[in-house]
Structure 1
Amino acid sequence: MTTRLSRARWLALLLPAALLAGAWGFQLIGGLYPCEMCHWQRWPHYAAVAVALLAFFAPPRPARALVLLAALLIAASGVIGALHAGVEYHWWQGFTGCTSTVSMTGMTAAERLDAIMHAPMVRCDAAQWTLGGVSLAGFNAIVSLLGAALVAWLGVKAR
């Protein structure tokens, strides 16, 4: 029981943390700008990390519930990733327009116009990076959904 719960806790923490680290690495080191749907995929992972951390400090029964909640959050990111991948592959229409990386705070009108004109536009319907035809959103969907299933299985078996 304790071993499975411990594994579930660690996987519920490390899986979304690793996926977030990968996303931030592609952004900060690889120079890929996230679109709006990319950001949507990150929010459940942030929540899953927080919930999984709480599971380490909870007694076994509440910890199990927290691990299952983390699994649901990880799965939610996977579902958003699958929706985003479908938009990138043009299987269906996207939910958002393009995203700009410009921050408008503390700028004059001329500076704002210049920033807008030189900012990269990030389209939700165009994959910036693929490997074997699978985009980052597709990889997030695959890893998140499979990982969430494993976390949930370990959490349920931890009775």
Structure 2
Amino acid sequence: MMGATAKGQANAIAALLILAGLVAIGTAWGFELIGGYAPCKLCLEQRVPYYIGLPLALASLYLSLKGRSGLAALGFVLVAAVFAYGGGLGVYQSGAEWGFWAGPSDCGGGAAAPASAADMLSALQTTRVVSCTEASWRFLGLSFAGWNAFVSGGLAVLGLIAALLSLKARKARVA
């Protein structure tokens, strides 16, 4: 019975991780597509852990549901590592925004260059260069990067909790 409880808890934590991650990446897309906030190059890089971590979390949840607690635990550890990396990117950009350290020297807009010389003048008039070292928005003192660091850190912790609970479920099943 203890194994079933740990497995159920691991699955609930994994579902929470997936839901929270979807809300976070959906919010980022919303600010961009609806709110008109253009992401910088580093902002776009901070989305990659969501694109990797969420499908991996879903696969790990599937493994857990199928009784493969050991593999699920490994998957959740990988999920935690991916989101810890994403949190580190957020901390790096936040520190650069606050002037604690220099940001990347190649960080501008996330858009591609114009395809032709004729389009260049038009692009110069409409393109807004976004710096990785200037926060375009803050809420409760945190920028987009700061919120990403906070959320990614939380998702990493949830991944570790799901991994530990999966191991506990595996041990209980084996015993």
* TM-score, with length taken from structure 2: 0.82
The yes-or-no answer on 1:157 pairing with 2:162 is no
Once the two structures are superposed, the pairs formed by residues 52-131 of structure 1 within 5 Å of their partners are: 52-58=57-63, 59-104=68-113, 107-131=115-139
Corresponding residue of 2:17: 12
Shift of residue 67, structure 1, vs aligned partner: 1.5
Shift of residue 131, structure 1, vs aligned partner: 1.0
Aligned residues: 158
1:62/1:85 Cα in 2 relative to 1: closer, same or farther (>3 Å)?
Answer: same
Contact 1:11 1:151 in 2 (8 A): no
Of all paired residues, the percent bearing the same amino acid is 30
Once the two structures are superposed, the pairs formed by residues 138-153 of structure 1 within 5 Å of their partners are: 138-153=146-161
1:79/1:147 Cα in 2 relative to 1: closer, same or farther (>3 Å)?
Answer: same
Contact 1:101 1:120 in 2 (8 A): no
Corresponding residue of 1:135: 143
Q: Deviations over 1:35-71 (max 9, x none)?
A: 0110111101110011012113322221121112111
Letter in 1 for 2:106: G
Which structure 1 residue ranges, 5 or more long, are not aligned? none
Q: Deviations over 1:57-99 (max 9, x none)?
A: 3222211211121111111111110111001111100113342
Q: Which has the larger radius of gyration?
A: 2
CA distance in 2, matches of 1:133, 1:69: 30
CA distance in 1, matches of 2:9, 2:107: 43
- SS of 1:90's equivalent in the other structure is coil
Question: Which moves more between the two structures, 113-122 or 46-55?
Answer: 113-122
Which structure 2 residue ranges, 5 or more long, are not aligned? 1-5, 169-175
Contact 1:78 1:142 in 2 (8 A): yes
* TM-score, with length taken from structure 1: 0.89
Contact 1:68 1:151 in 2 (8 A): yes
Contact 1:82 1:138 in 2 (8 A): yes
